[in-house]
Amino acid sequence: MYCKENNFYTTLLIKIKKKLVFVYLHINISVTLKPKQYMETKIVLTRENRPTNELQSLVEKDYKGIKLQFNEVYYLDYIVDEETGLINKHIKEKYFTKSQIKRNIRALKSSYYIARGSASPCEIIQFREKYNIPASIFSLILGFSKNTISYIENEGITSLPNGRLIKMCLDDVTVVDQYLHLCDLIDNVKKEEISKRLRKKD
């Protein structure tokens, strides 16, 4: 259930599909992900079933001069001697639960997609707040399911094509306005309200 830091990425590479190996590529762009909207402290159980706080740290990975940055989640627990199995209660080190490993993979994959031209969760949130568009409505405008944008903002970019489409729309509000008027799932009154905000000059 628990993985040591030095075995963390080796274990991941064995378990995930070949496609996700892309996630570990280094990139020439520095990318910073916005933390999740909710920042409550999560509790993790140690090997002795004692509660401890989940921690975060900014991690950088490089590939061919390109930098990836993502928030890695982990917890601290006492070191265990692999040969004797004895616990050293004087020193703690990083450990990861299975859930944390999956979240770290998603964060790293998202940062890779962003570096390859996708919109970042931070950019999406800033755009929506600027034009006062709810996440569910923005999802429908772009042709996604109702909860897609909300999921991306909290969990990160899930695919390169979707991320690039969103980036293109964020960079050109006329595209968003065009998609808005083509959307059959939004009533005309709401369309006009959003369209006025999109066409309003800064």
What does pTM read for this prediction?
Answer: 0.72
pLDDT in 10s for each residue of the chain, 202 residues: 444 444 544 444 444 433 333 333 333 333 333 444 444 568 898 888 889 999 999 999 886 677 899 999 999 999 998 888 898 989 999 999 999 999 999 999 999 999 999 999 999 999 999 999 999 999 999 999 999 999 999 999 999 999 999 999 999 999 999 999 999 999 999 999 999 999 986 5
Q: Which of 103, 135, 132, 102 is nearest to 121 (CA)?
A: 135
Strands of the chain, DSSP E: 3-4, 43-45, 51-53, 55-63, 66-80, 87-96
pLDDT tens per residue, range 50-93: 899 999 999 998 866 778 999 999 999 999 988 888 989 899 99
Angle at 4 between CA 7 and CA 12, to 5 degrees: 40
Q: Which of 180, 168, 178 is nearest to 133 (CA)?
A: 180
What are the two backbone dihedrals, phi and then psi, of residue 57, each rounded to the nearest 5 degrees?
-150, 150
Confidence (pLDDT) at 65:
74
CB 107 within 8 A of CB 71: yes
